[in-house]
């Protein structure tokens, strides 16, 4: 994943949002006037413990295809992870095994979210077709 995900301590409860707060939180987090298309709010427990909120924007960013290496760069969100050492350099963070595991978890949740979007669109299209016939 790339640097679009903010890793913040739970100072203002940013990862403890309620569903009715998602839209305003997304807009304030991303300076976006449009509502989000999808949201995934989850907690991972096991060898890692983290909380995260991931958002898919309602419209594609203008620079979506400029950086193909950041294939999930359009996904925005916040990750709260208490066990990440704060006194290490950015270079060391890039090679940190914990971050690689976090990244894999986030990619997995993004794929789940995309599947949910596809299922919802399929269901919606099926309902529209059945209403017109």
Q: Domain holding 45: CATH number?
A: 3.30.230.80
- What is the CA 79 to chain-centroid distance, rounded? 8
Q: Per-residue pLDDT tens for 17-43?
A: 677 778 778 787 777 777 888 889 998
Q: How many domains does the chain have?
A: 1
CB-CB contact of 64 with 99 (8 Å) = no
Q: Per-residue pLDDT tens for 62-80?
A: 777 766 667 788 888 888 8
pTM of the predicted model, to two decimals?
0.70
pLDDT for the residue 113: 93
Look at residues 123, 130, 106 and name the one whose alpha carbon lies nearest to residue 56: 106
Q: Which domain holds residue 23?
A: 5-132
> Whole-number mean pLDDT of the chain?
76
pLDDT for the residue 9: 40
């Amino acid at each position: 994943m790339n640097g679009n995900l903010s890793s913040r301590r739970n100072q203002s409860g940013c990862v403890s949002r309620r569903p009715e707060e998602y839209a305003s939180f997304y807009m304030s987090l991303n300076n976006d006037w449009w509502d989000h298309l999808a949201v995934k709010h989850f907690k991972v427990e096991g060898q890692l413990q983290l909380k995260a909120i991931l958002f898919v924007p309602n419209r594609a960013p203008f620079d979506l295809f400029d950086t193909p290496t950041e294939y999930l760069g359009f996904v925005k969100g916040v990750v709260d992870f208490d066990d990440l050492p704060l006194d290490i350099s950015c270079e060391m963070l890039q090679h940190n095994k914990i971050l690689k595991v976090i990244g894999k978890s986030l990619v997995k949740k993004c794929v789940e979210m995309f599947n949910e979007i596809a299922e919802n669109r399929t269901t919606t299209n099926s309902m529209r077709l059945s209403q017109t016939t």
